[in-house]
Amino acid sequence: MKERLVVIGNGMAGVRTVEEILERDPDRYEITIIGNEEYPNYNRIMLSNVLQKKMTVDEIITNPLDWYEENQIFLINNNPAVGVDTELKTVTTESGESVPYDKLIMATGSHPFILPIPGADKEGVVAFRTIDDTAEMLAASVKYKKAVVIGGGLLGLEAAKGLQEQGMDVTVVHLAKWLMETQLDEKAGKLLQAELEDQGLKFLMEYSTQEILGDQRVTGMRFSNETEIETDLIVMSIGIRPAVELAREIGLAVNRGIVVDDYMATSLPDIYGVGECVEHNGICYGLVAPLFEQGKILADVLTGQAEVKAYQGSKTFTSLKVSGADLYSAGNILNTEGMDSIEAFDSASRKYKKIFLKDGKIQGIVLYGDTDDGSRYYNMMKKGQTIEDLQSIAVLQAIGEGAGMGQDVIEWDDDETVCGCNGVEKGKILQSIREKGLTSVSEVGKVTKAGTSCGKCKPQVQTLLEYELGDAVTTATGICPCTDLNRDQVVTQIYAKHLTSTQAVFDALEWRNAEGCSKCRPAVNFYLNVAWPEEHEDERDSRVANERMHANIQKDGTFSVVPRMRGGQTSPQQLMKLAQVAERYNVPLVKVTGSQRIGLYGVKKEDLPKIWEELDMIAAQAYGKVFRSVKTCVGQSFCRFGTQKTMELGVRIEENFEYIDTPHKFKVGVSGCPRSCVESAVKDFGIIGVENGFQIMIGGNGGTELVEAQHLITAETEDEVVDLCGAMLQYYRETGIYGERTAPWVERMGFENVKTVLLDADKRKELWEGLNKAIAAKGRNDAWGPITKDVDLREKMYTIEKPELVGVGE
C-alpha cells in the first residue's frame, strides 16, 4: 500500500517538490495537494507579464488540471488547510474535509505585508501577489487614471511599470534613499531611478506613508511630512512575511519562518517544510531558485535516495523584468565591511559594474546596463573561484573582447547554473536533451523550467541544444548544402571579387550545384541587392514563389491578395474597389489582417493578374522578406490617452521604407501612449509615444518564440524616430543572415553593440548613405509593385510550375 503524502500549499515550491518526487519514484506516494487559490499551480514570477499584458493567465499556468489527473494527484483547491492533528496525522480543510497523511509537507508560502495604517482596508488598496490581485489592478487601470505603488523593490517596480503600460499615471513611494536597496548599492539604485523616470514613472523617495485617505474607496495618501497626493489605486509592495500561522498552532518550532534542518525536516516527526514559509539557519528565502533547491533535497529525502546532499543555504540573485532597465544583483552587497571591490562606471551609457571580493573570491555582484557577465560571475561566486588569473579592469576594449571571452556555456562545467531563476544547471539541461529527446528551447523549459522565468538564459539553452543535436536544431543560416561557406564568407567574397549576380557567385565560389537551389538562390540574391543596389539587377527567378506571385500561397493552393494601406488607413474609393473585385471574382474571404490591411483570401492563381490590374493598387508585401508594414493606433488625433500623433508618423515611415528588402520580414508598430494598443513591444521596431517624445524599442518578435523588444532610447522628435528606423533597417540588412528575424539578430550581434552603432551619429549617416542607394534603386514600380501594364511581363510573373512556399499570412 502506498504511503500518503499531503502537501499544504499549491504554490511553486510545494508543487516543484512533488515534481521532483515523481521524477525519482512516481509510484511511491498517494499524493494530495491542498491549495488556497482557485487556480492550479502557476508561475508567480510571471504575474508582472500578465499585468503588462505580455502574457495571459493561461500562459503562466505551469501545471494545468490535466497534470494532476495524469499523475493521480488529488487536488483540493480553493479550500485551505485550517488544522493539523499531529497525533492522528490528519489535515482539516476550511470546508471540514479531513485528509490523512503519513508524510506532510508544509509549503504555505508567504503573505504580502500590508502597512498597519489608517485606511489600509479601503477599496482600491491591493497587494501584488496573486492572479486575483493582478486582475483587480487591470480592472482599475481601465476605470481610473492615477496609481501609487508603495515600495521601490523588485516587485513594486514591476507593478508600477505594468500599470503605467496600461495608461495610468504612476508614482512610486519608497522609504529608502534609493530603489531596490537590498539588492543594489546607491549608485545602481540611482541609475535605475533615472532610467525609469525617463520612461515616465514618478518617484517620492524617503517618504513614509501615514494615512490612506477617502471614504469607501481610496482618494489619496498623507505622508509623515504632512504632504498629500491624490490617487485612485494603491498597490502595497513592501515585502512578504512567511505564512506560519498554522505551523504555530500545531506546535512546530517557528521563528520568522518554520524552522527546518539541513534535510528540510521540522521539529515534529514526519512533517517537512519547503519554500518561503521556512527558515534555514536563520534565513527565509523569497526567490524561486532557493525554493527549488530545497525541493530537490526534500525529494531525495522522501524517496529514500542513497546519498542526500545536506542543504547549506543558497546564493541568490535578482534580475528586473522591466524594459530598458537591465540589472543583475547577486550575493552579499550590503554587509561589505572588510571587503575589497572592483568598480567600473560609464556615465555616458549608464553602465555600472561592482564586484565585492574577499580573499580574492567574489562575494557580491551589482551590474547595471550590461548584465552579460552576470551568469559567469555568479558561477564563480558559487564555486568559490578566485580572480587571480583574470584581468580586473579594462577600458575601451573592442566590442567582444575582454575577460568573458572563451566563457561560452559549452565550456562551463556541468554543475554550473544556466538558469539562475529556477536553479537549473548545465548538466541537467544536457541530460534532459539526451534522455527525453528535446529539440527546442520551449521543450527544455517544460521539462527543466530553464528559461521559463525572466528568459535571459534562453540563448544559452539554444546553444546547448545546437551543441548536443547539431543539424537536428533548425537555425537560420541562409546557406545550404551547395556550399560550405557561411553568410559572412559569402558576403566578403561578393565585395572582394565584385560579384554582381547569383551565377557569378556560384561560379566564383565553386558552388557544388552550379545553379544553386531554392534555399541559397534567394539568400544570395538578397546579399547582392544589399551589396550592389545600383548594379545588381534583382533576379525575379531567384525569389521564392510568394514574392514572384505578389501573393501568399495558402494551404489549399489558392492565394491571398493584400494591397498596401499605409499606416492602416484606407479610403472609400479603395474600399469600393476591393468590394467590387471581391464580388466579381467570387473571393470567399475578405478579412482585416493582423497588420491593419484588408486581404482577399482564396483567390485563384489565374485571376491574380486581372485582380491586380483592376485594383490598380500596389502590393502590401505581406508575403516577402521585406519591410512589411507599420501598424498604428489613432493616437493623439482621436484617442483621449494619446500623447503623440501616430498615424501621420506611421504613414511617413512606411512611405520612406516600403519596398526595401530585408533578411526577414520587418514590422513596425507606432503606439500613441504606453497602453501600446498596437503591441509595439513585440515589433522589430517599436515606437511608444510618451509625454517627452517616443520610446524606441528594437528586436521584438510576437511569433512562436515571443521576444520582448529592448528599449533603445527615448527620441524627442519624429525626425529622430525616422532617422533611427532607417539606420536600424540598413544595419540589419548589412549584417543580418537571410531568414533571420531581428530578435535573434539583436541577440547574435549583441544589444549593446547594436545600440552603440545606432546611437552614433556618424555611423547612422554612413548607414543612411547605403539605405538611400537602395531606396533610389528600388523605385516605385519594380519587383515589389505589381501594377505593370506589360501583359507579357505580367503573365511571366505569375507563371510557376509548382508552389515552393506555403504562405502563413501576415
pLDDT recorded at residue 38 = 92
Which of residues 88 and 536 earns the better pLDDT score? 88
How far, in Å, CA of 82 to CA of 753, rounded? Answer: 56
pLDDT recorded at residue 268 = 96
480 is in an annotated binding site: no
For the chain, give the percent of residues with pLDDT over 70: 87
Q: Which residues pair with 105 in a beta bridge?
A: 7, 272
How far, in Å, CA of 50 to CA of 32, rounded? Answer: 29
For the chain, give the percent of residues with pLDDT over 90: 40
Task: State the pLDDT confidence band at 545, using cuts at 50, 70 and 90.
Answer: low
Per-residue pLDDT reduced to its tens digit, 219-237: 999 999 999 999 999 999 9
From the list 708, 705, 706, 685, the residue with the least C-alpha distance to 695 is 685
How far, in Å, CA of 560 to CA of 365, rounded? Answer: 54
Whether residue 156 has pLDDT greater than 80: yes
Exposed / middle / buried, residue 773 (Cβ in 10 Å: 0-12, 13-18, 19+)? middle
How far, in Å, CA of 117 to CA of 127, rounded? Answer: 15
What mean pLDDT comes out for the span 138-148?
Answer: 95
Whether residue 160 has pLDDT greater than 50: yes
* Residues near 350 by beta carbon (within 8 Å), at least 6 away in sequence: 191, 194, 195, 368, 369
Mean pLDDT comparison of 41-50, 329-338, 386-395, highest-scoring range: 41-50
What mean pLDDT comes out for the span 619-630?
Answer: 74
From the list 42, 36, 76, the residue with the least C-alpha distance to 61 is 42
Whether residue 36 has pLDDT greater than 70: yes
Comparing 175-184, 454-463, 680-689, which segment has the lowest mean pLDDT?
454-463
| Distances in whole angstroms, Cα of residue 363 to Cα of each of 102, 129, 330, 342 | 42, 30, 8, 12
Three-class HEC string of 607-630: HHHHHHHHHCCCECCCCCCEEEEE
Per-residue pLDDT reduced to its tens digit, 461-473: 877 876 777 545 4
Alpha-carbon radius of gyration of the chain: 29
pLDDT recorded at residue 548 = 65
Comparing 288-292, 512-516, 614-618, which segment has the lowest mean pLDDT?
512-516
633 is in an annotated binding site: yes
Which of left, alpha, beta for 550 (phi over 0: left; psi -120 to 50: alpha)?
left
Q: Which residues pair with 590 in a beta bridge?
A: 600
Comparing 344-353, 686-695, 795-804, which segment has the lowest mean pLDDT?
795-804
Comparing 72-81, 439-448, 657-666, 727-736, which segment has the lowest mean pLDDT?
439-448
Three-class HEC string of 84-103: EECCCCEEEECCCCEEECCE
Task: State the pLDDT confidence band at 790, using cuts at 50, 70 and 90.
Answer: very low
pLDDT recorded at residue 787 = 35
Task: State the pLDDT confidence band at 800, using cuts at 50, 70 and 90.
Answer: very low
pLDDT recorded at residue 394 = 56
Which of residues 321 and 209 earns the better pLDDT score? 209
Whether residue 687 has pLDDT greater than 70: yes
pLDDT recorded at residue 556 = 64
How far, in Å, CA of 50 to CA of 66, rounded? Answer: 22
C-alpha 276: how far from chain center:
26
How far, in Å, CA of 319 to CA of 234, rounded? Answer: 24
Whether residue 557 has pLDDT greater than 60: yes
Whether residue 696 has pLDDT greater than 60: yes
Mean pLDDT value across the chain: 84
Task: State the pLDDT confidence band at 784, using cuts at 50, 70 and 90.
Answer: very low
What mean pLDDT comes out for the span 532-545?
Answer: 77
| Cα angle for residues 605, 606, 612 (degrees, 5° grid) | 85
Q: Which residues pair with 33 in a beta bridge?
A: 7, 75
Q: Which amino acid is at 34?
A: I
How far, in Å, CA of 710 to CA of 726, rounded? Answer: 17
pLDDT recorded at residue 561 = 78
639 is in an annotated binding site: yes
pLDDT recorded at residue 417 = 84
* Residues near 792 by beta carbon (within 8 Å), at least 6 away in sequence: none
Per-residue pLDDT reduced to its tens digit, 42-77: 998 889 889 988 788 988 899 999 999 999 999 999
Whether residue 271 has pLDDT greater than 70: yes
Count Cβ atoms below 10 Å from residue 452 Cβ, excluding itself.
24
Q: Which three three-digit cell numbers place residue 503?
A: 551565377
Provide the whole-model pTM.
Answer: 0.59
From the list 767, 736, 750, 752, the residue with the least C-alpha distance to 666 is 736
pLDDT recorded at residue 101 = 97
What mean pLDDT comes out for the span 620-624?
Answer: 65
pLDDT recorded at residue 805 = 31
End-to-end CA distance of the chain: 57
Comparing 76-85, 177-186, 743-752, 775-784, which segment has the lowest mean pLDDT?
775-784
How far, in Å, CA of 478 to CA of 738, rounded? Answer: 5
pLDDT recorded at residue 808 = 35
Whether residue 386 has pLDDT greater than 80: yes
Whether residue 11 has pLDDT greater than 70: yes
Helix (H, G, I), strand (E, B) or coil at 199: coil
Per-residue pLDDT reduced to its tens digit, 396-441: 444 334 444 334 677 778 888 888 778 788 888 998 888 888 877 7
Domains of the chain: 3-110+242-302 (3.50.50.60), 125-238 (3.50.50.60), 408-475 (1.10.10.1100), 487-542 (no CATH), 627-783 (3.30.413.10)
Comparing 47-61, 637-651, 726-740, which segment has the lowest mean pLDDT?
637-651
Got the DSSP string for 148-177?
EEE--SHHHHHHHHHHHHTT-EEEEEESSS
Contact between 480 and 524 (Cβ < 8 Å): no
C-alpha 565: how far from chain center:
30
Which of left, alpha, beta for 214 (phi over 0: left; psi -120 to 50: alpha)?
left
How far, in Å, CA of 299 to CA of 644, rounded? Answer: 55
| Distances in whole angstroms, Cα of residue 233 to Cα of each of 404, 700, 801 | 45, 31, 63
